[in-house]
Amino acid sequence: MSTPDRQITVPKFSAMKAAGRKITMLTAYDYTLARLLDSTGIEAILVGDSLGMVVQGRPNTLPVTMDEMIYHAEMVGRAVQHALVVVDMPFLSYHLGVHQATENAGRVLKETQCQAVKLEQGPQQLEVTAALVSTGIPVMAHYGLRPQSIHQLGGYRVARDRERLLADAVAAEEAGAFSILLECIPGDVAREISAAVSIPTIGIGAGVGCDGQVLVTHDLLGMTPGPTLRHAKAYVDLNALIVEAVGRYRDEVRESTFPGAEQTFD
Ligand code: KIV
């Protein structure tokens, strides 16, 4: 079966860097939002383990399981016709060695229609990355702030070790990663990394020097509780719009003005 021409494949995604075309990526966790995002022509959708916080209301991403990622990825993969869909490997789904990582990442390709996985990288993940790539599983490597290491890092902090970040990015490319996600690192370091590797860098809180950008869609839509994060931008205040719409519905039901004649069958 051939891939439809308009589908962004891993090679097409990678080729965008050489073509000097910026890459747009957003998170999605369900069919409805994934379909809408895909209709805008963005190049990539991430089924992020941020769903642990955004959808499940947990304090961090650590409790998210492989089965939960598959559940959400299956819905997103089914909705998307155009974008490349990358799925986060959750905490402890790839840390116990190549065998465990291959089995779990393989589930993403076998049980969902998504095309790639993302791994938060420590040194031992280079071997895992190489093994997955050799199995035919495309890997996006995630450096900088790594939320799965929150307890070791002592909080969500900007990663500033320039030498380390640069060396890690080069090593990830050598291991076969098709792209590198850079989370919360200084803009000049991200620009330097982007120039040093030939695969696309996708930034979040990493400045405009990356080859593309990713945002948590709920942040972009103004659906996250509390103030907007420094690195995020709310393009609309959906929280307010939803509360306003639901308030109108509540009032109309209480006043018996909904349902009206139009919504009532003869
Ligand atoms: O899980 C996630 O949503 C992420 C962000 C970097 C976008 O990894």
pLDDT digits (tens, 9 = 90+) for 15-42: 999 999 999 999 999 999 999 999 999 9
CATH fold of 10-220, please?
TIM Barrel (3.20.20)
Collect all residues with Cβ–Cβ distance below 8 Å to 191 and sequence separation of at least 6. Answer: 207, 209, 210
Residue 221 alpha carbon to ligand 1 centre in Å:
15
- Kindly report the pTM of this predicted structure: 0.96
Collect all residues with Cβ–Cβ distance below 8 Å to 237 and sequence separation of at least 6. Answer: 222
Residue 5 alpha carbon to ligand 1 centre in Å:
28
pLDDT band at residue 5, thresholds of 50, 70 and 90? confident
pLDDT tens across 173-228, in order? 999 999 999 999 999 999 999 999 999 999 999 999 999 999 999 999 999 988 78
Residue 50 alpha carbon to ligand 1 centre in Å:
6
Give one word for 61, left, alpha or beta, with left for phi > 0 and alpha for psi -120 to 50. Answer: alpha
Alpha helices in 51-181 (DSSP H): 51-54, 66-79, 98-111, 125-135, 150-153, 162-175
Question: Residue 2: is its pLDDT beyond 70?
Answer: no
Query: What is the reported pLDDT for 69?
Result: 98
- Tell me which residue has its CA closest to atom 8 in ligand 1: 48
Beta-bridge partners for 143: 182
- CA 219/CA 205 separation, integer angstroms: 13
| Dihedral pair phi/psi, residue 64, rounded to 5° | -60, 135
pLDDT tens across 118-148, in order? 999 888 899 999 999 999 999 999 999 999 9
Q: Where are the domains of the chain?
A: 10-220
Whether 120 is catalytic is: no
Q: Kindly list the distances between the CA atom of residue 192 and the CA atoms of 46, 83, 161, 167, in Å, as whole numbers in the listed order.
A: 24, 27, 13, 11
Q: Which atom of ligand 1 is nearest to the CA of 181?
A: 6
